[in-house]
Structure 1
């Protein structure tokens, strides 16, 4: 910690009590005297739904790159998640995945790991660990409505606070909250572009790529113990003439399955509970429907249409004020089908912490914003690079180079169905542990040229123990 901060403790203000907000607080808590989190709603005390997080009803996971970043930010948090019921999933050992090129093998040697849990549990465990710090405080029922300062330096935020039992706009009072560092972690609803314009900063570039996929999700009581149970996924194939569709089952705490189904315009799932399992049977393979037929639904069906990829290129602005950072969905939000969002947030927060260790020095905010953009770049290449090939996508059309790259990725995916080396290289990128450029290394290029070394699997690969459990369930029904 720098002498300046030790003798004159700095204050950081974080806009939003989301996962991004909590990890932002974790990133700077050791470098400042106090952290004030501004949250418009009350926060739950346990692993319960948080108001303002509609995406929490859909499946979430932490990729290997996110697991590593989260553990680095909050040592011990991964063990705490596991102790609370989250599942450690060895990749691809405990994954049954049907890609457009075929079934991926469950290689005995695990090269990566995922964490699966309900979003409510993940938020709770992270929130509990961050807020145990005495100098990290949450100011609930408060909304940031503007920035203080000018185009050269942000010096705080204007906030509106409502009292107990008062609705938005009723009995509100506006105050100014001074800060040495303001971090916008307010998510998709961020007003940062407008706030920057009010400070005289314009020219912000933005991309929006929308495949039109609709998500429908519900919880099930699993028919088998979920400890050690694999993730099951049927991926969409953009080359097929019918509307794209996909689905996944994640084992989560409480011996439950969290299930999400996705469909593009012309073939979208609905809130109709009676139509949920029939929709699963229309996917490229019926494995998800077959498993759900053995399970007990625990919730209604929740639907969302907010699956567009959206990005603000803050790192490209010619001017960026000191004392301001944007993190998480306020920078870039991704189609949740690819499971990158939480991991990108964790990696961005880790980049913030590493750079902030030198103190709140001139130029820090711009360096941090550029560092946050790096994991965003990797995830953007993966998600948008896939979404642009769906016929229903708006916002960007594939060009010749995109189609050429897609053909190469398809070849890699095909090779990965029968090549451990290629499967590992591809997983390195998909789990955000290596950049997409690593897929053009000579060894990977050679393996793609050779193709799969083993014949393709004819169907989903379950272990004898898993099949015995399923047969036992069928025998009781």
Structure 2
């Protein structure tokens, strides 16, 4: 690698999306002992403004960043949160900034903030991270280039062969290779070609299909809440859900989803009708008053897939984000889990040389911890839907699911449980928080108030929905 001082550690990141640029931020200025040079290999040219890029079809769908992920990104790249918000992203207080219909009923909105989420278009999220990461010393982007195979032995990855757009190939050696190429990663095959034993893989697939569309938000909806109608995995029918997220540019992005046997389509005339058939027609009722801004786009590659690289003993290779743990997007944890994984990578690299023996395995374990929490949340639901493929639920899984259902029902009228559930969902606490004595006592006691008979809307929200003033429903 011409121009590289031999004393500097070399990192090669495969993939220039969110996970790849966060990995660069984690390692560029946090290596212990020696300076680090980071090359990011990206198949496509990346825009220098918040606009769509090739290779990210999911950008057309709803994305949210839970507080655990937002704070991880801001710790890696200080000021990113401010950039999002100044560009029109929304900081949504949870639970009072969300109108949500859970399997246990409608959530109240009269409580203080437990956590928050950042609601923005995916293009804006990625651009703000990418701009800051590429400005770090030692970070270099190699656009319009893609890896075609890994280099190394049965025990260590030493680099990769890169192919450029003109067809030329180049050998790039590295002390550490990070796979951030996402769900479609070819790393399992490349590692096998080096003679490295395959790692175990777990897949749970509820057959979820996403259909999304952008809308012009009606006038007077500044500070609008997230609207979320959730599926109920306890029902013996395919699950379906709908989410309305306010994003920059006075727009809403609306995503509808359905599990195997009940998926939405890309037919525009069927979009609102699918929303009307959810457990509540609330999403459709708001869309009746909004102007669509584009076509319906569909995504089907939504299986939960976990590659257990932490069980491998190969040196010099780490997988991050969807390359290691890909999650059903309906739960909104993919970006947050990747961000927390990158922060864990930074923390380890600040204490341990990336070239040291066992670094890759320790890093993979550290990355896997936040991903494991998100994995349990997703798989615990998806495995229960009819026609789900993959890991079957055990007796312990069913007992756990019953307890979580009790918590969800209780959360509709008990802030103690709302706070605990929200901390876990926002990836600010592990699942052990749900077993805290005060949470157990609240679950044993059950709901403290009668359920709401409909969504807890403000007068302004009801007026938009009904087209006339309406009495306020008690929250």
Give the TM-score of the pair, scaled to structure 1. Answer: 0.93
Supply the distance in 1 between the matched residues of 2:231 and 2:244 (Cα, whole angstroms): 15
Aligned to 2:47: 44
Q: Distance in 1 between matches of 2:55 and 2:307?
A: 21
Return the match for 1:324 from 317, 325, 346: 317
Structure 1 residue ranges (4+ consecutive) displaced by more than 4 angstroms after TM superposition: 468-475
What is the CA–CA distance in structure 1 between the aligned matches of 2:428 and 2:468, rounded to whole Å?
38
Task: Name the SS for the 1:133 alignment partner.
Answer: coil
Tell me if structure 2 keeps the 8 A contact 1:294–1:474.
no
Mapping of 1:157-172 within 5 angstroms?
157-163=160-166, 172=167
Matched, 1:210 2:213: no
Could you tell me which of 104, 108, 129 is aligned with 1:105?
108
Residue from 116, 121, 124 that aligns with 2:124: 121
- Per-residue Cα deviation, 1:344-389 (whole angstroms, up to 9, x for no partner): 0000000000011133233221111110110111011100011011
The secondary structure found in structure 2 opposite 1:160 is strand
Quote how far apart the aligned CAs of 1:107 are: 3.3
Matched, 1:138 2:141: yes
Q: Which moved more, 1:447-456 or 1:94-103?
A: 447-456
In structure 2, relative to structure 1, the CA distance for the partners of 1:211 and 1:369 (3 Å cut) is same
Partner of 1:189, secondary structure, is coil
Match of 1:57 among 32, 55, 60: 60
Q: What SS does the aligned partner of 1:88 have?
A: strand
Partners of 2:388 and 2:326 in 1: CA distance: 16
Q: How far apart are the structure 1 equivalents of 2:95 and 2:230?
A: 15
- 2:23 is paired with a residue whose SS is helix
CA distance in 2, matches of 1:97, 1:13: 42
CA displacement at 1:473 relative to structure 2: 8.2
Match of 1:67 among 50, 65, 70: 70
1:11-65 deviation line (CA, Å, top 9, x unaligned): 2111001100010001001134321100111111211111111111111011111
> Which whole-Å CA distance do the structure 1 matches of 2:41 and 2:415 have between them?
47
What SS does structure 1 have at the residue aligned with 2:255? strand
Q: Any conservation in 1 of the 2:212–2:254 contact (CA below 8 Å)?
A: yes
The residue that corresponds to 1:76 in the other structure is: 79
Q: Aligned partners of 2:346 and 2:404: how far apart in 1?
A: 34
Distance 1:54 1:349 in 2: 23
Q: Is the 8 A contact 2:14 2:181 kept in 1?
A: yes
- Paired residue for 2:473? none
Distance 1:426 1:474 in 2: 34
Question: Could you list the runs of 5+ residues in structure 1 that have no partner in the other structure?
Answer: 164-171
Shift in alpha-carbon separation, 1:155–1:21, aligned structure 2, 3 A? same
Instruction: Please tell me whether residue 448 in structure 1 is matched to residue 451 in structure 2.
Output: no
Shift of 1:324: 1.6
- In the alignment, is residue 150 of structure 1 matched against residue 157 of structure 2? no
Whether the 8 Å CA contact 2:70–2:81 is kept in 1: the answer is yes
Are the equivalent residues in 1 in contact too, given 2:307–2:325 (CA < 8 A)? yes
Q: TM-score with structure 2 length normalisation?
A: 0.94
Say if 2:23 is the partner of 1:20: no
Matched, 1:434 2:433: no
Matched residues in 2 for 1:393 and 1:295: separation? 34
The question of 1:346 aligning with 2:345 is answered: no
What CA distance in whole angstroms lies between the structure 2 residues aligned with 1:79 and 1:439? 32
Residue 239 of structure 1: CA displacement? 2.2
Q: 1:209 to 1:54 in 2, by over 3 A?
A: same
Q: CA deviation at 1:243?
A: 2.1
Is structure 2 residue 97 aligned with structure 1 residue 94?
Answer: yes
Shift of 1:136: 1.4
In the TM superposition, residue 471 of structure 1 has moved relative to its aligned partner by 5.7
Q: Which residue of 2 aligns with 1:9?
A: 8
SS of 2:343's equivalent in the other structure is helix
Aligned to 1:308: 303
- 1:276 and 2:271 aligned: yes
Given that residues 226 and 256 in structure 1 are in contact (C-alpha distance below 8 angstroms), is that contact kept between their aligned partners in structure 2? Answer: no
Moved more, 153-162 or 95-104: 153-162
Does the CA-based 8 Å contact 1:222-1:296 persist in structure 2? yes
Question: Following the alignment from structure 1 to structure 2, what is the Cα–Cα distance between the partners of residues 187 and 427?
Answer: 27
Displacement of 1:203 after TM fit?
Answer: 4.0
Stretches of structure 2 that go unaligned for 5 or more consecutive residues are 471-475
2:386 matches 1:391: yes
Query: In 1, Cα distance between the equivalents of 2:93 and 2:99?
Result: 12
Instruction: Give yes or no for the alignment of 1:291 onto 2:286.
Output: yes
In structure 2, how many angstroms separate the alpha carbons of the residues matched to 1:465 and 1:140?
Answer: 48
Would the aligned equivalents of 1:348 and 1:375 in 2 still touch at CA under 8 Å?
A: yes
Paired with 2:350 and 2:421, the residues of 1 have a C-alpha distance of 33
Q: After alignment, is 250-259 or 352-361 more displaced?
A: 352-361
Q: 1:169 maps to which residue? A: none
SS in 1 for 2:337: helix
Distance between the aligned counterparts of 2:343 and 2:58, measured in 1? 23
